[in-house]
Amino acid sequence: MEQSTKPRLAILGGTGDLGTGLARRWVQAGYHVVIGSRQAEKAAAAVADLRAVMAERNIDVEAVDTVEAAENLQAAEAADIVVLTVPFAHQASTLEQVKPALLGKILIDVTVPLVPPKVARVQLPSEGSAGQIAQNLLGEEVKVVSAFQNVAAHHLKEGHSFDCDVLVSGNSKEARQQVITLVEAAGLRGFHAGMISNAAAAEALTSVLITINKQYGAHAGIRITGLDH
Amino acid sequence: MEQSTKPRLAILGGTGDLGTGLARRWVQAGYHVVIGSRQAEKAAAAVADLRAVMAERNIDVEAVDTVEAAENLQAAEAADIVVLTVPFAHQASTLEQVKPALLGKILIDVTVPLVPPKVARVQLPSEGSAGQIAQNLLGEEVKVVSAFQNVAAHHLKEGHSFDCDVLVSGNSKEARQQVITLVEAAGLRGFHAGMISNAAAAEALTSVLITINKQYGAHAGIRITGLDH
């Protein structure tokens, strides 16, 4: 068996809807994915589910073998690129816990700073964005890249293709490019959206999409237009 | 000649690119538009230009007669719906000046809180958004509706159709609906995007679109996707 040159991914909070959707996409694309959770048994259940879904989709055994379960810290240690998909309320505490395992790595922050119960209302934090909070907390030795805030978990979990672009913000252009490669592996288009402070745009947009979803009974997303002119 | 039942529109800062583009679209759709400026002679020059463009496009004389020039305060007084398209640095001072003329009316705030020279960086104000600033300043007797932040002036000024949706935020649903009618009159799709605080999303997104425009040499916009599912 040839060794993969793809980065090994950890998805912290990987038992949630968005983490589950991303895991399915990336395993299907041939990535080795470690599902992280606060409780190892929850992560193990998510992995079992993931394997069952891959089997249903007739994904080959090798791909199914490339997924494993761990507690969040062990998951982060085992990975080259770490993805954070926990609720905003747990963002800081999770990052504090895994910080030692992130040095020199890319942290993909998928956090949306929703403040329940009014999740359809934009309520950005005083730091400007959850992405900025992560970068401040982790320091410049971790390349924080914000992405996937506007992607409906519903669509990610299904195997079908769907129409949604991903805004990718971060202070390192090279790190953004690596994340755009992962966006494309998930079947989507990614765009360089600027420095980490620009994560505010995608994060705020999520509440607008929730507002639109309520009206249309939909799982709305966005597409960047006007690029051919 | 039948009296129009359409609301009379004033565009404050109507000599700029975005104001010019909106004026062209709405005059072409049969609206009576008052171009406002700090200086009456600049407004008059904009009106002359608008008439020349309408003549080039073979728009009938009646439409061309329904455009006039005024200083900002007089423009606001003459209109049913007032549109603010001045730079962020002049937003508050312009609103203070015209505030007495806005009571009971809709104020469409098109302001994007860009902070030059770093206009590609999201730098939202501490109030959350320029739309919120306008609502705070004008009080609840003025229905502030935020819209058009993500529309490229370049495309608006041209007569052609183009692919860009407009996020419409404001505390009054009925006022948002009136603005959506104006969005559609300009040839675009408008979406109820929530309370005025949600203006932050479209305002932040403008800096991301500027970032993308630099990479693609484009006039990018957005489209809401996933509504048919």
Tokens 């004008």, residue located: B138
Q: What is the pLDDT of residues B107-141, one digit of tens each?
A: 999 999 999 999 999 999 999 999 999 999 999 99
According to DSSP, the β-strands at A165-170 and A143-146 are antiparallel
Burial of B228 (0-12, 13-18, 19+ CB in 10 A): exposed
Q: Please give the domain boundaries of chain A with CATH numbers for all domains.
A: 3-216 (3.40.50.720)
Range B47-53, long-range pairs (CB < 8 A, 24+ positions):
B49/B20, B50/B20, B50/B23, B50/B24, B53/B24
Using CA atoms, how far apart are residues A43 and A40, in angstroms rounded to an integer?
A: 5
- Rounded to a whole number of angstroms, the distance from the CA of A198 to the nearest CA of chain B is 5
- Write down the ipTM of this complex: 0.95
- Rounded to a whole number of angstroms, the distance from the CA of B203 to the nearest CA of chain A is 8
Q: Which residues of A touch B223 (CB under 8 A)?
A: 222-223, 225
pLDDT at B1: 46
**Contact at CB, A221 and B222, closer than 8 angstroms:** no
Quick one: DSSP state of residue B88? G
Using CA atoms, how far apart are residues A204 and A73, in angstroms rounded to an integer?
A: 29
**Contact at CB, A205 and B205, closer than 8 angstroms:** yes
pLDDT at B63: 60
Tens digits of pLDDT across chain A (229 residues): 455 689 999 999 999 999 999 999 999 999 999 999 999 999 999 999 999 999 899 887 566 678 999 999 999 999 999 999 999 999 999 999 999 999 999 999 999 999 999 999 999 999 999 999 999 999 999 999 999 999 999 999 998 889 999 999 999 999 999 999 999 999 999 999 999 999 999 999 999 999 999 999 999 999 999 998 5
Of A121, A163, A225, the CB nearest to B222: A225
Instruction: Name the 3-class secondary structure at A225.
Output: strand
**Which of the residues B161, B167, B171, B198 would you substitute to probe the A interface, choosing the one with the greatest number of A C-beta atoms within 10 Å?**
B198
